[in-house]
Amino acid sequence: MSPRTPGADLPEHPDRLWSAAEPKSSYDVVIVGGGGHGLATAYYLAKNHGITNVAVLERGWLAGGNMARNTTIIRSNYLWDESAGIYEHALKLWEGLEEELDYPLLFSQRGVLNLAHSLQDVRDSVRRVHANNLNGVDAEWLDPEQVKQVCPIVNISPDVRYPVLGATFQPRAGIAKHDHVAWGLARAAAALGVEFIEHCEVTGLQVRDGRVTGVETTRGTIAAGRVALCAAGHTSVVAATAGIDLPIQSHPLQALVSELLEPVHPTVVMSNAVHVYVSQAHKGELVMGAGIDAANSYRQRGAFHIIERQMAAALELFPVFARAHVLRTWGGVVDVSPDASPIVGLTPVENLYLNCGWGTGGFKATPGVGWCFAHTVANDEPHPLNAPFSLDRFTTGALVDEHGAAAVAH
């Protein structure tokens, strides 16, 4: 009989989290969406700006959308200065968040490898490393042997279809436990007076004379001094009720998890070229993200062939995963903008603020965007870090295009 494995269980949650609230008739700020961004915004509104008469409205259960469905990768090694700014701000906050919230977030800075599989991948990766270094983001370029030192189970054989030619490595990057993050933020915000109203779907924004005055919900009308949208994939639907069109499209993004396994994978590996990202979470389960479905959809489920392709790619990289088992697959709905960067800031409607378009980057930005968005809402003015992510960049053409080089074309 083998002994039980230490570390195979998680630290206990606290005995007290938050209490469900009944909606009041009015709040200073109503936040639409009780996911990570909504909770972080509420928390920083209360903590940084002293605004505590705040309700977070959630159509389902708190943090039950993408917050409960993502693969929890945290990194800040983005290409453009604008992106690096806000993600690095988030990463610095992550580094102190566990202590600040007094909650075991299981934030584990185990590093993230972004693999390169073609010569152009290598060029793009080295370019990103150099950009990161100028921005004070820790990043290095590793050759295949160094990749193997960081993650011994990666197959660096040159004989595979798309060999690993190297990787960028951000040592400070890592993962956290999503529920713990959400609940830590919720508990801290609740302690400051923020209210959480669950099963309360916003069906309309009330706008008078170009100014938002409240929200219509499945639990009645709620007046609001300011309204902050944090509804991720559903932002288009909510914003449309105030006549605001957004340049975002909602797509399913899938993820899956294996059974609990003895530790084999010490870091996080991402491979954009073959659409695989994988880490081994705290209990020992492999958590993998897959590609995004091409067609718009609000179904929280993706297509099966995407999982099959992802697995084929994953086994090319990690042959030892062959007999691991998929226990559960699921999908979230991500809101994708034309330049793969978020939209955070003011809207044409006064006192209505927008935070959407995070695509697959939402979780890692949680504290950073909460901080900046709270600033934006509190001051009716973008924080410098989210100023580049305004809606009008699509008019001027000043995009923050994180797609990078699309395809190698020579």
Site for other proteins in 136-195 (CB under 8 A): 136, 160-162, 179
Find the distance separating the first CA and the last CA of the chain, reported in whole Å. Answer: 59
Report, in Å, the least distance between residue 318 CB and other proteins. 9
Piece of the chain touching other proteins by CB under 8 A; list 16-24, 28-36, 102-110, 372-380: 16-24
Among 96, 102, 210, 259, binds other proteins (CB under 8 A): 259
**Beta strands across the sheet bearing 140-142:** 140-142, 166-170, 112-116, 268-271, 276-280, 285-292
User: In whole angstroms, what is the distance from residue 224 CA to residue 141 CA?
Assistant: 49
Comparing CB distances to other proteins, the nearer of 208 and 410 is: 410
By CB under 8 A, tell whether 299 contacts other proteins: yes
Comparing CB distances to other proteins, the nearer of 213 and 347 is: 347
Residue 46 φ then ψ, to 5°: -75, -45
Residues 92-131 that bind other proteins (CB under 8 A): 117-120, 122-131
Comparing CB distances to other proteins, the nearer of 26 and 329 is: 329
Residues 314-343 that bind other proteins (CB under 8 A): 314-316, 319-330, 338
Among 266, 295, 379, 384, binds other proteins (CB under 8 A): 295
Contacts of 384 (CB under 8 A, 6+ apart): none
Query: Which amino acid is present at 339?
Result: D
Angle made by CA atoms 72, 201, 208, in degrees to the nearest 5: 115
Other beta carbons within 10 angstroms of residue 308's beta carbon come to 11
By CB under 8 A, tell whether 22 contacts other proteins: no
DSSP annotation of 317 reads H
Piece of the chain touching other proteins by CB under 8 A; list 105-113, 223-231, 237-245, 381-389: 237-245
Other beta carbons within 10 angstroms of residue 6's beta carbon come to 6
Residues 340-359 that bind other proteins (CB under 8 A): none
The helix (run of H) or strand (run of E) holding residue 306 is: helix 304-317
Query: Which amino acid is present at 277?
Result: Y
Comparing CB distances to other proteins, the nearer of 3 and 50 is: 3
Is there a contact between 320 and 264 (Cβ–Cβ < 8 Å)? yes
Residues 37-96 that bind other proteins (CB under 8 A): 61-62, 64, 68, 81, 84-85
Piece of the chain touching other proteins by CB under 8 A; list 207-215, 220-228, 293-301, 365-373: 293-301
Report, in Å, the least distance between residue 213 CB and other proteins. 24
Residue found under tokens 């779907």 = 201
Q: What is the CA radius of gyration of the chain?
A: 21
Comparing CB distances to other proteins, the nearer of 220 and 408 is: 408
Report, in Å, the least distance between residue 225 CB and other proteins. 27
User: In whole angstroms, what is the distance from residue 56 CA to residue 352 CA?
Assistant: 15
Comparing CB distances to other proteins, the nearer of 25 and 396 is: 396
Residues 375-394 that bind other proteins (CB under 8 A): 394
User: In whole angstroms, what is the distance from residue 215 CA to residue 224 CA?
Assistant: 7
By CB under 8 A, tell whether 133 contacts other proteins: yes
Piece of the chain touching other proteins by CB under 8 A; list 5-13, 45-53, 92-100, 359-367: 5-13
Report, in Å, the least distance between residue 98 CB and other proteins. 18
By CB under 8 A, tell whether 408 contacts other proteins: yes
Half-sphere exposure of residue 408: CA atoms within 13 angstroms, side-chain side: 10
Nearest CA among 357, 353, 283, 245 for reference residue 365: 357
Number of shown-chain residues binding other proteins (CB under 8 A): 110
By CB under 8 A, tell whether 201 contacts other proteins: no
- Joined tokens for residue 24: 């009041």
Piece of the chain touching other proteins by CB under 8 A; list 94-102, 212-220, 241-249, 382-390: 241-249
Half-sphere exposure of residue 178: CA atoms within 13 angstroms, side-chain side: 21
